[in-house]
Structure 1
């Protein structure tokens, strides 16, 4: 799942070397924290959050297949 988030994020940004994904366990959920360069933040979020929502949807669909609960935070 972590690799999926990295691949998608690196395809969107101008500085792929600064993409980092951290994983932590919170209750019964896995939380992935995506951080990018400050100037790439808008590209990952998108207009009205559409890119962020699409990223969360794709990751959520992959998590359902693995029977996991996940959340993606963009920091």
Structure 2
């Protein structure tokens, strides 16, 4: 079984939701317990990516977490959306 390219998966899920897909950037940061992916988009697209009451963001997180390769020592995947408001 091959390991999924999480960054490519995130990019393929997020790009159709954006009005300005050229502004999309994804950075990876490995912390102690997580493979953390930080998604930066145009400030006008943040609401489209988060969705009403966070439903779109929650669905994205569910798909990304479900795609990770499961091993006993595998780190969890964390998806963060930079909302530019803070």
TM score, norm. by length of structure 1: 0.93
Extract unaligned runs of 5+ from structure 2: 1-5
Aligned residue in 1 for 2:79: 72
Aligned residue in 2 for 1:49: 54
User: Which structure's residues are more often helix, by fraction?
Assistant: 1
Extract unaligned runs of 5+ from structure 1: none
- Post-superposition, which runs of at least 4 consecutive aligned residues in structure 1 deviate over 3 A? none
Aligned residue in 1 for 2:40: 35
Q: CA RMSD in A?
A: 0.8
| Structure possessing the higher radius of gyration over alpha carbons | 2
TM score, norm. by length of structure 2: 0.82
Q: How many residues align?
A: 73
Shift of 1:7: 1.1
